[in-house]
Structure formats: C-alpha cells, structure tokens
Amino acid sequence: MRLAVLALATVLALTGCSGAVTYVAAPSTAPPAPAFQLKLLDGSTLDLAEQWKTRPVVLVFFESWCQLCTQQQPGITALSEEYRDTVLFVGVGHESSSADAAKFVRDNDIDYPVGLDASGEIWRRYRVDEPPLIALISKGGRLVRGWPGGTTELDKQIRQFLVA
C-alpha cells in the first residue's frame, strides 16, 4: 500500500493534477543525437528517432560481464519503472552474446527494450569506450547529457534535463 501511494505521488508530481507532462527543452547548444535502429533481443527493431519524437530517451550502454553495470542496474531499473510513461529507457550492449545479454536482462529484472550493437557502430557514434555509459536524449532528439561510469544521480539528471 505504501509503495502504491509513493508511486501515485510520483506520478502526480511528474504530471500535475491535469495528467500533462512537461518536457524540458534541450539547450540550444545541445547537438543532435545520432539516430539509429536497434535490433532488440526479442527480434523486433526499435527506431530511436521515432521514439524521441514523442518523449525523451535514456540510453544505457552496458555489457553482461561488466561488474559496475550489474551494481548500478537495480537503480536504473527502478527509475525506468518510475518514469515508464514519460521517458523511454533503452539498453544497448555490444560485445555480449544474445544469450548473455538475455541472462543479464532476466537477472536484473529489466523490462525496458534491450538490444545488441554487434557491429559497434552505435557505440562508436556515441563515443562509448567502455561500459557503463548513460546518455540522455531530449524529446526532439538532442543529446543533452552523456557520461561514462554510469551514474548514481540519474533521477536528478532526468528531472534536470528531461522532465520538469
């Protein structure tokens, strides 16, 4: 019951009583985010440019063998659930096998879309040297924040750069 009240309070804080979400405008200096299509673990394809037309996107670059990714994932998963209706989280692996990535998803209760960048092109375009890396993309497709090492302040960053 307490969790349900907390979830409702979060939704009301994000949407106000009207139910409308206010997205933060990207700074004019923010570069366009590199668009891409990602083949997901379930076999479907996700077109990111289509997604950020309607809402912000948080890219989570990870590897199944990455200890820091595993340590940070519970917090990222919780935030993906909290912002489920306002921000799309997408996991992007590179060197992990499909089986290892799927195990990582199961073991960490990830319910947002996850795919593999087998060629490494997406990782190169986002300048990912090693995981974890988080990238925040505004509604409209501007890269407003990206940082290596994951984050312990992702909630604050989402509220500052994506959702008012």
pTM of the model: 0.84
Which of residues 117 and 26 earns the better pLDDT score?
117
Measured distance CA(63)–CA(108) in Å, rounded: 12
Write out the two tokens for 44: 């479907």
User: Can you give the pLDDT at residue 27?
Assistant: 86
Instruction: For the chain, give the mean pLDDT.
Output: 85
- pLDDT tens, position by position, 131-143: 999 999 999 999 9
Residue 67 reports pLDDT greater than 70: yes
pLDDT-derived band at 23, boundaries 50, 70, 90: confident
Domain 22-161 has CATH 3.40.30.10: yes
- Percentage with pLDDT > 90 across the chain: 69
The residue ranges of every structural domain in the chain are: 22-161
Q: Is the pLDDT of residue 17 over 50?
A: no
Q: How many Å apart are CA 111 and CA 140, to the nearest integer?
A: 24
More confident residue, 52 or 163: 52
